[in-house]
Chains A and B, each alone.
Chain A
Amino acid sequence: MQRETVLNTLVFLALPAVAAIALVLDEPFTITLATRAAILALAAVGLNLALGLGGLVSLGHAVFFGLGGYAMGILASHAQSYAPLDLGLFVIEGTKSMPVIWLTAVVVSALAALLIGLLALRTAGVYFIMITLAFGQMFYYFTISWPAYGGEDGLSIYVRNSFPGLNTLDPIQFFGLVFAVLAIVLFIMGRIERSAFGLALGTARQNAARVETVGLSPFHLRLVAFVISGAVTGLAGALFADLNRFVSPTMFSWQMSGEFIVFIVLGGIGRLFGPVVGACLFVLLEHLLSGVSEFWLIYLGAILLFVVLFARGGVIGALVGRGGHHG
């Protein structure tokens, strides 16, 4: 536990350290890489509540990532073209304000998670995986065939959205913003893990009958966890779209959902910082290995296989030498 805290702190501080060094050496690309790692980590931190603590293997979290992305894309494109967005019942203006976009992304993905959760959480195991996957594919093919916002080609936003008091076009300032969001979400997730809700959710993963016997509903616990989880991944989606100034259906793809799971497994399932370690490692390997060979995913696959076979606790587990600390 003690060693894990030290390791977590080191990993967490490594991100801003890398960004700071890159700033001094004037290498904006590296700052962008660190920002990308932080955003992907945020998406997986969201999934980790459902998957790690709740034991819900969702292969559909790209739905929330994509919804966050398109929430940004649609709002920003309407602001860009000065054409209000007609929703039938009412008409809203587009916006370039990050706080408004984030709020929209969080609300939309939370609602989607509520609806998907209501259906998918009635099943378990492989059926749950398949239903979440099916929802992901539905959104993926819908965005491909929906021409209004770019369809298959995606949607470009020319200028990054704004945040009060910051110049978000400056890579280091945008990184700082993303990192602050990640830090706040990690703090909140840490609190949730230790709360009464977290204890009940972790117990529902280990033994659903135990939770029922003390008068609690595993379904309600899982549904709430799924909604929080989806909302966080949706927020990450809005940031990811802003990083790239581009949204496309690939944000909804099942490969995206798979990558989030890979981050968690790589870092250590059920550990607060597991997804952060996993995402950083993934982005680093992607950067290093893709320079060596275009078939870099083969090497990544081999590393993942090694972790799954020999280091069940992920990289954190291997370094700390203990099982998952919460439940």
Chain B
Amino acid sequence: MADPLLEIQAVSKSFGALRATDDVSLTLLPGEIHALIGPNGAGKSTLIQQVAGALVPDTGRILFDGRDVTALGTAERAQAGLGRTFQISALAMENSVLQNAVLGAVGASRRVWRFARSVMRDSDVRSHAEAALNRVGLSDVANMRVGELSHGQRRLLEVAVALTLRPKVFLMDEPMAGLGAEGSARMTGFLDGLRSEAPILLVEHDMDAVFALADRISVLVSGRVIATGTPADIRSNAEVRTAYLGEEGLS
């Protein structure tokens, strides 16, 4: 089996008496979508923040592409090849759609310390950004301000900016959140093709999407991973059923 691109090794994080992440280990292999599911308050966000570099684990290590990145910050992990999307869109709302994508291209090409040249006329950076917008189908609204976009379009823009980074690993926090059935189906189709470019660690509440997409699923309950396996394994796992799936009546 190929070496994992992302490896979370026995990571724990506590806030006071609350063990938000309790000895979690999981891996992300090349070419796979590994979904992380769990009820509200299970600690998915805390875990994602530690993988992204916004929170430092109390114990344990995070390996990225064979390298220990536990001590690195968000910007350094992004440079190392981690492409993150946010649950609540984190975009420059006053800027145009294209400007947001261009910023991603600027970050990817490390061309930020340029003071004299107009960035929107830099054809390398711009064509790179336009290609990413084209892939998610946002070319038509490239000149609109992000503030004027619909919720679904902002979700797509989040993904487009992550694409401009050409990451080795995608870390996606609820990309389907707030999308309608149609939007959700489109996003599912898009992510399905994306896994061949880079594996995706996917946190998602939409169970239809998770079971349609995931190669493996890990179930997080009260900060612990109670099961990891294929969608079929997870469906038939009695512990998962009682802890989580049963509540939503999924069969």
Contact = CB atoms under 8 A, between A and B. Distances in A.
Interface of A (DSSP majority class) = helix
A210 B91 contact: yes
Given A195-B117, A196-B125, A206 B75 contact: no
B28 interface: no
B94 A206 contact: yes
Interface stretch (A36-44, A147-155, A175-183, A214-222): A214-222
B78 A197 contact: no
Contacts of B112: 196-197, 200, 216, 221
A194 interface: yes
A122 to B, nearest CB: 14
A215 B91 contact: no
Nearest to B162: A213
A191 B54 CA distance: 33
Contacts of A207: 90-93
Interface residues of A, number: 26
A221 B107 CA distance: 12
A195 B103 contact: no
Nearest to B102: A199
B135 interface: no
Contact of A195 (B54, B73, B78, B116): B116
Contacts of B52: 213
B94 A215 contact: no
B118 A195 contact: yes
Interface string B156-178: 00000110110000000000000
A192 B117 CA distance: 8
B234 interface: no
A82 to B, nearest CB: 41
A206 B74 contact: no
Contact of B120 (A194, A209, A323, A324): A194
A327 B114 contact: no
B199 to A, nearest CB: 18
Contacts of A211: 75, 103, 107
Nearest to A203: B92
B90 A210 contact: yes
Contacts of B103: 199-200, 203, 210-211, 214
B122 interface: yes
A267 interface: no
Interface of A: 191-192, 194-200, 202-203, 206-207, 209-217, 221, 323-324, 327
Given A194-B120, A197-B112, A214-B107, 11 more contacts: A195-B115, A200-B112, A202-B92, A203-B92, A206-B95, A211-B107, A212-B73, A214-B78, A214-B106, A214-B165, A216-B107
Interface of B: 52, 54, 73-76, 78-79, 84, 86, 90-95, 99-100, 102-104, 106-108, 110-120, 122, 125, 161-162, 164-165
